[in-house]
A and B are shown apart, each in its own frame.
Chain A
Amino acid sequence: MTSTRNVALTIGLLCVSLAGWEGAVRLLAVPIYIVPPPSRVVVALWRGFASGLYPRHLVYTLTETVLGFLLGAALGFSLGIAVASSRYIEYFVYPYIVMFQSLPKVALAPLIVIWFGLGLASKVVNAALVAFFPLMVNTMVGLRSADEDRVSLMRALAASEPQIFWMLRLPGALPFVMAGLDVAVILALIGAIVGEFVGAQHGLGMLIQSMNFTMDVSGQFSVLLLLSVLGLALNKGIAVLRRRVLFWDPSVKSRSDAL
């Protein structure tokens, strides 16, 4: 009942604001190379898809993002485990990781393109470097947050340290890991786009830049729209994964029931 009303309201609001945008641009005679009317953006989107240009670049950027995300997640997860389980690694390695993290990584992108070329590899590396940190920190915090009573229980059962890790710490860290993945996937997309800006032959980021040179602002708007939909889809993907992995977590359960 309420949900159908909310959907109607959302669509209505969207229509009104789009109409307002269209009207304002036409009424004030804003040049099309500054702000295009929504109708132009839709036309650009349609042309891009019909010509097969957008799907090709979309798939390319998606591939970069997913590969970079997987690489960064694997890196962040294993570093998180390493730092959480060894005082030495925490003492000797962690400060460098934090130093590296405080560097604006966008500034690294030109170097990475020099090292890894204009192709897929440099975007994947860039995405991975931007994405790994939140996952590492969350994995670390998650592994350390194991409840003291549960650890005592495992110890009282004469469990070994590996058993405590696999049966208690790791499953207990999963809610934190999933929250880290949530952030990491969007960061991976940003990393891939930045990489494309610096130097690329394919991808939505490269498309935006070449449109910028030809002053095709409606085209840029349409690609931006595409990027935000892509980000949303990646986010939804993680949400689905999260519900699968954390089926036992009452907070996840109640949230999905409420929807």
Chain B
Amino acid sequence: MAATAISVAGVAMRYAARGASVAALADMSFDVAEREFVAIVGPSGCGKSTLLKILAGLLPPTRGEARLRGTPIAGPRRDIGVVFQAPVLFPWRTVLDNVLLPVDVQGLPRDRHRRAALDLLALVGLEGFEQRYPWELSGGMQQRVSIIRALIHDPAMLLMDEPFGALDAMTRELMNLELQRIWLERKKTVLFITHSIPEAVFLADRVLVMTPRPGAIMDDVAVRLPRPRSLDAMSTSEFGGCVARIRARFNAQGGVDA
């Protein structure tokens, strides 16, 4: 077994909101190994984004402890890359400068990372768009920019919160293939949050299934499909079995939203 990259132990989260308080996470515990691709699926509002914010150091949990590579999370750190549901690009920066944002913030050498950024842009098919502005790009292209922005400072871990949620089905499949390719090339630890069961099964080594709010892990499904996976993998019995098992867990809990 490889070293542990992310370790979440008994994490609970309550939001205080005008007198009443909302329990977002009940009791989360799980581990993610180095270089593992783990997907989390769960119904809307079950606390997935909350979990990601805790891991990104943006939000201290009410209870429990989360560790990244052995050290407790005390705030934002530089060895993680975060991708949000929306691309969150800066309109006054060109595509290239958007990718270089983490480099500017963290004061890393710009010329060396410039080359890396150009390589990454080529990797996701955005050659020739380096000097364009975000609004000149389609939604899928913008999301690709935000993914390679999360990779530019070469973080050991990637946290992704429904990065393809806003895309149409076809673009989404292409992006899944592209993400898998990037991951196979760079071998990072990935925690990938999604609404879509097939997407989770297609991408991940393991799928964690969450209960409705307040969230907790109710199942941990290992996906034994060889890599690299093509879209044809979706018609195998292993794929179908995993999807069926996760769906059954949801139905037992009172239905899925997506």
Contact = CB atoms under 8 A, between A and B. Distances in A.
A145 to B, nearest CB: 13
A167 B102 CA distance: 11
Nearest to B146: A153
B57 interface: yes
Nearest to A251: B135
Query: What band does the interface of chain B fall in when counting residues whose beta carbon is under 8 Å from A?
Result: 20 to 34
B58 A248 contact: no
A101 interface: no
A152 interface: yes
B84 interface: yes
Contacts, number: 53
Interface in B90-112: 90-93, 101-102, 104-106
A157 B88 contact: no
A250 B136 CA distance: 9
A248 B92 contact: yes
A158 B77 CA distance: 6
Nearest to B104: A167
A171 B90 contact: yes
Nearest to B87: A149
Contacts of A147: 88
A87 B27 CA distance: 37
A71 B99 CA distance: 38
B70 interface: no
A168 B91 CA distance: 10
Interface of A: 147, 149-150, 152-159, 163, 167-168, 171, 174, 248-250
Interface of B: 53, 56-58, 75-78, 80, 82, 84, 86, 88, 90-93, 101-102, 104-106, 133, 135
17 contacts: A147-B88, A153-B88, A154-B105, A155-B76, A156-B58, A156-B80, A157-B101, A158-B77, A158-B78, A158-B105, A158-B106, A167-B90, A171-B90, A171-B92, A248-B92, A250-B91, A250-B135
